[in-house]
Amino acid sequence: MKAADYWTDAGLVVTLEPGQLDPEDVDDGLAVYIERQERSPEPATARTHRLTTIGVLVKRVAHSAAEARLDEVVDDIERSLDGRPSTWPAGFTAPQYQSMEPMRAPAGADWVGALLRYTSTIPIR
């Protein structure tokens, strides 16, 4: 276990630009970015909020246990978001898990990754 009972230290390298997770430069890291926004599905907030899809791109050195290393970081991300709704800014809903897509490295490369998607309703500025 790492800090705060997490499996990994992937949160030490976080960027808003997925291109900054170049496997040549970064062993473990996360990129958090907005994938898209849509009209809020709730009639009460349709004019004041947007349903926002957030992508969390994960990249880790695989070593010899790629699936286990990917499972660890996905678990860490999910645990970091669980039970925190009261800490989100006013008007924001807590991110809701939508999907996870594994990403495979090219032949000969020693990394594993995933794209996790969450949605949150956020105020229009």
pLDDT value, residue 85: 64
Say if residues 105 and 23 touch (Cβ distance below 8 Å): yes
pLDDT value, residue 20: 84
Task: Tell me the residue range of the domain where 117 lies.
Answer: 3-123
Say if residues 40 and 51 touch (Cβ distance below 8 Å): yes
Number of domain units in the chain? 1
pLDDT-based confidence at 45, cuts 50/70/90? very high
**Residues 6-15, mean pLDDT to the nearest whole number:** 84
Q: Look up the CATH number of the domain holding residue 21.
A: 3.30.70.1700
**108/119 Cα distance (integer angstroms):** 34
**Residues 69-73, mean pLDDT to the nearest whole number:** 87
Q: Partners of 119 in the beta sheet?
A: 53, 96
Token look-up 């790492």 returns 2
Q: Is the C-alpha dihedral spanning 10, 72, 56, 53 positive or negative?
A: negative
Cα 10 from chain centroid (whole Å)? 11
